[in-house]
Amino acid sequence: MKPGTELAEIVAHLKNLMAFDESIGLDPPRVTSSVSRYLEGASGIVRTLEDLRSHIGDCKRCKLSRGRKNLVFGEGSSKARLVFVGEAPGREEDLAGRPFVGDAGKLLTKMIENGMGLKREEVYICNIVKCRPPNNRDPEKDEIATCIPFLKEQLRIIQPEVICALGRVAGQSLMGRGFNITKERGRWVSYMNVPLMPTFHPAYLLRYPAAKRQTWEDLKEIMRCLGLEVKKNA
The Cβ-side half-sphere exposure at 172, using a 13 Å CA radius, reads: 16
Q: Is the distance from CB of 147 to CB of 153 less than 8 angstroms?
A: no
Distance of closest approach, residue 146 Cβ to ligand SF4, in angstroms: 4
Minimal distance in Å, beta carbon 177 to ligand SF4? 19
Least CB distance to ligand SF4 at residue 80 (A): 21
- Helix (H) / strand (E) element for 191: namely strand 189-191
Q: How far apart are CA 54 and CA 216, in angstroms?
A: 36
Please state whether beta strands 75-76 and 194-199 pair in parallel, antiparallel, or not at all (unpaired).
unpaired
Chain positions 122 to 151 lying near ligand SF4, rule: CB under 6 A, are 129-131, 143, 146-147
| Residue placing its CB nearer to ligand SF4 in the complex, 129 or 165 | 129
| Minimum distance of ligand SF4 from residue 25's CB (angstroms) | 12
Residues 6+ apart with CB under 8 A from 156: 192
**Residues paired with residue 190 on neighbouring β-strands, in sequence order:** 195
Interface positions, 70-129, toward ligand SF4 (CB under 6 A): 71, 129
> Rounded distance, CA 184 to CA 218, Å?
11
| Euclidean distance between CA atoms 128 and 151, whole angstroms | 7
Smallest distance from ligand SF4 to CB 122, Å: 25
For residue 136, the 8-state DSSP code is G
- Does 61 bind ligand SF4 (CB under 6 A)? Our answer is yes
| Binds ligand SF4 by CB under 6 A, chosen from 17, 52, 64, 108 | 64
How many residues in the shown chain lie near ligand SF4 by CB under 6 A? 14
Report the residue from 17, 18, 62, 197 that binds ligand SF4 according to the rule CB under 6 A. Answer: 62
Residue with Cβ nearer ligand SF4 (122 or 140): 140
Measured from the CB of residue 206, what is the shortest distance to ligand SF4 in angstroms? 24
Backbone angles phi, psi at 43, to 5 degrees: -110, 155
Q: How far apart are CA 171 and CA 12, in angstroms?
A: 38
* 61/212 with CB nearer ligand SF4: 61
Positions that interact with ligand SF4 (CB under 6 A)? 56, 59-62, 64-65, 71, 129-131, 143, 146-147
